Structure 1
Amino acid sequence: MITDNSKKMEFELIAKTFMGLEQVLAQELTHMGANNVQIGRRMVSFSGDKETMYRANFQLHTAIRILKTIKHFKARSADEVYEEVQKIDWSEYIQQGKTFSVDSVVYSNEFRNSRFVTYKVKDAIVDQFRERSGQRPNISVSNPDIKLHIHIAEDDATLCLDSSGESLHRRGYRQESVEAPLNEVLAAGMIMMTGWTGDTDFIDPMCGSGTLAIEAALIARNISPGVFRKEYAFEKWNDFDPNLFDAIYNDETQEREFEHHIYGYDIDMKAVNTATQNVKAAGLSKDITIQHQDFKDFQRPAEKSIIVTNPPYGERISTPNLLGTYRMIGERLKHEFGGNDAWILSYREECFEQIGLKPSIKIPVYNGSLECEFRKYTLFDGKMKTFREEGGVVKTEEEKREMAQKHRFKKNREFKERLEAEASNEEGDIRSFQFHSLLRGKSSFNHPSHEDPWENSDRKGRPRKEDRPRGNRRNFGEEQGAFPFDKRGKRGERKFKRNAMDDKDDFKPRRHDSGFKSYDGKDFKRASRQGENKPYKYKTFDHEDE
């Protein structure tokens, strides 16, 4: 923590994530020092003060969005929603002349349309201002000063402030993209699930735009992913503390040296060029090497390594001889990667079958609306009996317990159709936007504030905020092709092409930071986080009080 002055009264916070990454996110929050960490579905709730909220946005690798809870209440009718929202003193949140927007997600037989809930919340806020001051705040979807989020599951409602703004998966280093890029938050979650923290070389033999390689470098060096972003929604709040946030932004004490190396390969020269450009933009060329190479030409690495990769599924990318590609992957791993571990994310069971190797663990993960599996393969030379006699471990005790769980995937399948509907909803102007109807009936969410789907998006442009100094934070990307950055350490501006993931999660166009100093030639300080990790709790939200 930065200073004692920052320790205020704690409040409830919600970190949203992808299905399958909840455990990893809970570990991140516990390590960060958050209190009352409780795992839900596609979210983790916790409590903390203003500094905790700033750090959660800036430091978490596996969070999509950080919400600050305003109120829990019952929503048995439209009038009740209106009345409960009016009970809040909105002058505490929305100053005169400020704009706001409302995002609603509804799973209820009472409310048939999310747009109707959005109108009710908006009307309650506007009417309160009219009654008290004779003036009303304006609605802005493209660039609101305050963004509100309401979630209703059956008759339980939770109203929150969105402290993040655009989705946290939009780090800011991606300048170019390839077809069907891997989401940055999912990539970071995959790496963290392997337990890798930079203790060996890291290889992605099908690297695409380089997302896994870049996220691996951030994790290995313990660099906060928020260092690339230009702004957060909480910077527009009435109580924003710029000095506190600048202290967090410029704190480098937790960063560390990385003594190994990261390699990314791809058969597509365009992908190689794209990944190289993105690595330069992140200022990580010292740690990452991108090369043009077919996986079929992969040879045994000289140093102990881990492979983490996301091959084509044949869904979003048309791949000729898809099954043959997976047979080749299995053959290369078996003959050229003995003594190491490989982790593969894929969608089709028939593809995994072609690998021809027995996984030690299968982890269910959703990539968008696709129910995927993240499988670990422990590779060894010779026979299994000899490997075990020499002390080799194919499955740890924890992995055995995981694999012994029955119906681990079934409980998530009920969300598949719902996810597809949610992903297509857009936040347009409340006077004109349209929502797709979501599935009705019994909600599969246990509690309104904790299990809502990842965000919708509006594609409208937003004005760029002027650069503002961030102290003496080291500048990433001094190397050729990186973000331009002045010596004062400003978070700069630069326009970039949007990538294919832009439609998946967010309500604003991406913002990119325009550069940070390269780590090339820099000395790094080793420092462990202070304080002991606090155990997190598992929680269900079936009967949580208002």
Structure 2
Amino acid sequence: MENFKMIAKTFFGFEEILAKELAQLGAQRVEQGTRMVSFYGDKGFMYKANLALRTALKILKPIKIFKVYDEKSLYQGIQAIDWSEYINENQTFVVDVTMYSEVFNNSQFVALKAKDAIVDQFRENTGKRPSIDKDFPDLKINVHIDRDTCSVALDSSGESLHHRGYRTATNMAPINEVLAAGILLLTGWDGKGDFMDPMCGSGTILVEAAMIACNIPANVNRKEFAFERWNDWDNELFNKILDSLLNKTREYHYKMIGFDKAPSAVAKAKDNIANANLSEYIEVFNQDFFESEKETDGPLHMVFNPPYGERLDIQLERFYREIGDTLKQHYANTNAWFITGNLEALKFVGLKPSRKIKLFNGKLETRLVKYEMYAGSKRAKFQQ
């Protein structure tokens, strides 16, 4: 099988960890861009990337790049592709557009022109035309216009890869699964120690942490990928790739716990953890973090997503001060990381973060911060 270029889309700030993931999986010619990483691999590797990558949102397979100056050049460029290689007149497709262009200002117009070019080609050649299906298309086409350059790619993933397949129940402000996995990898979480999420909500961070610890492929629970509807779909190859990934899973021998003070959140977290087949590794308790104490003397890796005040009604100043107080008084020998979209609120924690990483949660600018809580005094640690 021959290698071809692919593009993995991701969140701002995750490019480096996604490039590392790709290199570890065996991708060739890995190059970082903005919110994306390009790489080369064969069809089997495309299946593998969709199954295993934790920080990718989509895997695209580019098929043509051309210059676009106006409506006519867009239409001609799309028509120059032999679409019969990818679908037939009895199948369905949809066009998804992203663009940064002064020539075009309406993505729906671009999608309509691209659709017309494809449909007209089939009409001329066969007298029939494929239909549009926005929900379950046989082929999802991605058109990306950057100034005067148009890239056409096939979307091999379909629904965004953050739809892992294990989460059926969510609470008010659930964290995106890819965002959770990326945060965990940025914190250096490798599964070699005790882990805690003290505000676990519907359990996403816990599930992603356990999957990393056990080296379980990120999308093993997913129902479908877009490439399964492609003309060159190879079920046997896919199963071979999946088996090889599952053979590399490992056991986790430490404690992983989650707290939430809302009983409804705990119930949802337990459901999602059970859906991901990870109940044996994770315990979830109905507990207020501010009334808790660390149970072990050993090191603890803590990662959480506290409320930002955007959707949940809390007194921010008091809430963030209590986070700092609880860590200081009850969580010695802990590396505590959390993400917040409320940059002002960080002032109230009363601790100096040892790291700050800029990320985005949707369009909201956030910070991932690290607080190192030492056992005993900091000075004593460095004098040992």
Verify same fold: TM over 0.5.
yes
In structure 2, give the amino acid aligned to 1:368. G
Q: 2:66 aligns with which of 53, 57, 73?
A: 73
In structure 2, the residue matched to 1:220 is 213
Give deviations 1:490-546, integer Å, cap 9, x for gaps: xxxxxxxxxxxxxxxxxxxxxxxxxxxxxxxxxxxxxxxxxxxxxxxxxxxxxxxxx
Q: 1:315 aligns with which of 310, 313, 316?
A: 310
**Residue 306 of structure 1, CA deviation:** 0.7
In structure 2, the residue matched to 1:233 is 226
Q: Is 1:343 the equivalent of 2:343? A: no
In structure 2, give the amino acid aligned to 1:290. V
Output the CA distance in 2 between the equivalents of 1:281 and 1:86.
44
Output the CA distance in 2 between the equivalents of 1:216 and 1:63.
16
Output the CA distance in 2 between the equivalents of 1:140 and 1:211.
31
Q: 1:305 aligns with which of 288, 291, 300?
A: 300
Output the CA distance in 2 between the equivalents of 1:114 and 1:183.
25
Q: Is 1:293 the equivalent of 2:287? A: yes
Aligned to 2:344, the other structure's residue is in SS state helix
Output the CA distance in 2 between the equivalents of 1:32 and 1:249.
13
Alignment of 1:153-192 (within 5 A): 153-192=146-185
Alignment of 1:111-126 (within 5 A): 111-126=104-119
Q: Is 1:271 the equivalent of 2:265? A: yes
Alignment of 1:86-485 (within 5 A): 86-251=79-244, 252-302=246-296, 303-319=298-314, 321-390=315-384
Output the CA distance in 2 between the equivalents of 1:149 and 1:62.
20
Aligned to 2:220, the other structure's residue is in SS state helix
**Residue 382 of structure 1, CA deviation:** 4.0
**Residue 305 of structure 1, CA deviation:** 1.2
Output the CA distance in 2 between the equivalents of 1:297 and 1:144.
50
In structure 2, give the amino acid aligned to 1:114. S
**Residue 107 of structure 1, CA deviation:** 1.6
**Residue 304 of structure 1, CA deviation:** 2.2
In structure 1, the residue matched to 2:53 is 60
In structure 2, the residue matched to 1:458 is none
- Report sequence identity in percent: 48
In structure 2, the residue matched to 1:480 is none
**Residue 356 of structure 1, CA deviation:** 0.9
The question of whether the paired residues in 2 share the 8 Å contact of 1:323 and 1:350 is answered with no
Give deviations 1:218-252, integer Å, cap 9, x for gaps: 00000012210111100111111110001122332
In structure 2, give the amino acid aligned to 1:190. I
Give deviations 1:325-362, integer Å, cap 9, x for gaps: 11111011112222221101112222111111111110
Give deviations 1:401-445, integer Å, cap 9, x for gaps: xxxxxxxxxxxxxxxxxxxxxxxxxxxxxxxxxxxxxxxxxxxxx
Output the CA distance in 1 between the equivalents of 2:376 and 2:158.
53
Alignment of 1:505-524 (within 5 A): none
In structure 1, give the amino acid aligned to 2:305. N
Output the CA distance in 2 between the equivalents of 1:313 and 1:99.
42
The question of whether the paired residues in 1 share the 8 Å contact of 2:343 and 2:366 is answered with no
**Residue 90 of structure 1, CA deviation:** 0.7
Output the CA distance in 2 between the equivalents of 1:112 and 1:326.
42
Output the CA distance in 1 between the equivalents of 2:2 and 2:272.
40
The question of whether the paired residues in 1 share the 8 Å contact of 2:303 and 2:338 is answered with yes
Output the CA distance in 2 between the equivalents of 1:269 and 1:206.
12
Output the CA distance in 2 between the equivalents of 1:128 and 1:373.
49
**Residue 41 of structure 1, CA deviation:** 1.0
Output the CA distance in 2 between the equivalents of 1:382 and 1:228.
43
Q: Which structure is higher in RCO with an 8 Å CA cutoff and minimum separation 6?
A: 1
Q: Is 1:44 the equivalent of 2:54? A: no
**Residue 381 of structure 1, CA deviation:** 3.7
Output the CA distance in 2 between the equivalents of 1:256 and 1:50.
26
| Segment of structure 1 superposing worse, 344-353 or 197-206 | 344-353
Aligned to 1:83, the other structure's residue is in SS state helix
Structure 1: runs of 5+ lacking an equivalent: 1-7, 391-546
Q: Is 1:15 the equivalent of 2:18? A: no
The question of whether the paired residues in 2 share the 8 Å contact of 1:151 and 1:159 is answered with yes
The question of whether the paired residues in 2 share the 8 Å contact of 1:13 and 1:67 is answered with yes
Aligned to 1:326, the other structure's residue is in SS state helix
Aligned to 1:37, the other structure's residue is in SS state strand
Output the CA distance in 1 between the equivalents of 2:99 and 2:185.
32
Structure (1/2) with the larger helix percentage: 2
Aligned to 2:142, the other structure's residue is in SS state strand
**Residue 389 of structure 1, CA deviation:** 2.2
Count of aligned residue pairs for this structure pair: 382
Give deviations 1:367-389, integer Å, cap 9, x for gaps: 11110000111111444333222
Output the CA distance in 1 between the equivalents of 2:181 and 2:292.
24
Structure (1/2) with the larger strand percentage: 2
**Residue 77 of structure 1, CA deviation:** 1.1
Aligned to 1:224, the other structure's residue is in SS state coil
In structure 1, give the amino acid aligned to 2:18. L
The question of whether the paired residues in 2 share the 8 Å contact of 1:181 and 1:208 is answered with yes
The question of whether the paired residues in 2 share the 8 Å contact of 1:95 and 1:238 is answered with no
Aligned to 1:131, the other structure's residue is in SS state helix
Output the CA distance in 1 between the equivalents of 2:375 and 2:139.
58
The question of whether the paired residues in 2 share the 8 Å contact of 1:105 and 1:150 is answered with yes
Give deviations 1:269-310, integer Å, cap 9, x for gaps: 111111111111211111000001101112123142111001
In structure 2, the residue matched to 1:394 is none
Give deviations 1:178-202, integer Å, cap 9, x for gaps: 0010000000011111111111111
